[in-house]
Structure 1
């Protein structure tokens, strides 16, 4: 029977698929770390109180990249190149979602509008990250090899999502509400399409590494497309709502230790 648990167990049990999975994850986290570090450095003067939180976000992403690389080292595996079609961050940028890397590489301060775009984009992508890590914790939180890592990363992703909610609500109260909703909607609709495409590409690579029969690969691809159809119809709405989180100042206080 196909399930998220059984598929990931196969990926975990095979060195080549595990190597690709961790390499993709480490690359994406490292990219997020760089982006947040640049944004923290370029936050406009009127919003400098936000810079330490953005920097903390970036430091967490760098930490996650190190965690995935450490999981590879424990098996004596090097990282492998990430196929372009599985590069979630790059594909989002190509769709014009988030802040362009050309802007982040420059030394010009960002505008308040840029910060709104960054936070709205992050609110959408952190929703996805928090959900994915919660799934891994549910199925593998007690796993002897990856359990502690997925619990730690999951806690961080929850904090990142809480921070995005809180800061966007503050900006909405400062008059950015319409812009925030517009950017959230655009980001969410682009993200669900990119997530579908990346999921299909990753499963295609995994299927070849694990020598899945054609029927199994087709069933997984159909499931991914069905998930996208639901998200395109209604599921994307969960990515655009804003509510004040239970945990306030999530990136301004020390993170709790993983259980």
Structure 2
């Protein structure tokens, strides 16, 4: 029976597919760490109190990248180059979502609107990250090899999403509500297209690595397109709603270390 659990178990059991999976994940997390680090360094003076939280977000992402690298080393594997068509972060930037890397490389402060754009982008992408990690936590949270890593990353992603909700609501109260909703909608509609394209690319690479039949690949391709259709018809709206999280000030302290994995 083809299920999310059986699919990931197959990827986990094969060194080549596991190597590709961890390499893609590590690259995306490390890129997110760099982006958040630059944003923290360029926060406008009026939002200086936000800088430590953004830095914490970046430190968490860096940690996740190291965790995926550590999982590879535990298997005696080295990372591989990430295929461009699976580079979620790069493709989002190419679609104009979030803050451009050229802007982050410049040494001039960001504007408040830039920070709103960053938070809206993060709210959308962290929703996706939380859902993916919750799926892994449900099926592999007790796995002897990857369970601790899955639980730790999932916990961090929950905190990141809570932080985005709280900060965006603060900016909405300050008069940025319409800009936030407009940016959230644009980000969500772009993200679901990028996620579809990246999912198709990852499945194609995994299918070649694992020798999937044409029939199995066709079923997975159809499932990815069905998910996109659902999200395009209205599923994207879950990515743009805002509510005050139960866990307030989720990024108000230092990043939690992972000494057993890094």
Distance in 2 between residues matched to 1:184 and 1:201, nearest whole Å:
25
Q: Deviations over 1:179-214 (max 9, x none)?
A: 000000000000000000000000000000000000
Q: How does 1:12-161 map to 2 (within 5 A)?
A: 12-161=12-161
User: Superposition RMSD on alpha carbons, in Å?
Assistant: 1.1
Contact conserved, 1:43 with 1:110, CA < 8 A, in 2?
A: yes
CA deviation string 1:20-70 (max 9, x = no partner)? 000000000000000000000000000000000000000000000000000
Q: Is the 8 A contact 2:60 2:256 kept in 1?
A: no
What secondary structure does 2:160 align onto?
A: helix
Provide TM-score, normalisation by structure 2.
0.97
Q: What residue in structure 1 maps to residue 192 of structure 2?
A: 192
The 5 A counterparts of 1:216-227 are: 216-227=216-227
SS in structure 2 of the partner of residue 167 of structure 1? helix
Shift of 1:234: 1.0
Task: Say how many residue pairs are matched.
Answer: 258
Gaps of 5+ in 1: none
- 1:124-179 CA-to-partner distances (Å, cap 9, x unmatched) read 00000000000000000000000000000000000000000000000000000000
- The Cα of 1:253 is off from its aligned counterpart by 3.5
TM-score, with length taken from structure 1: 0.98
Residues 254 and 105 (structure 1), Cα distance of their counterparts in 2 relative to 1, 3 Å cut:
closer
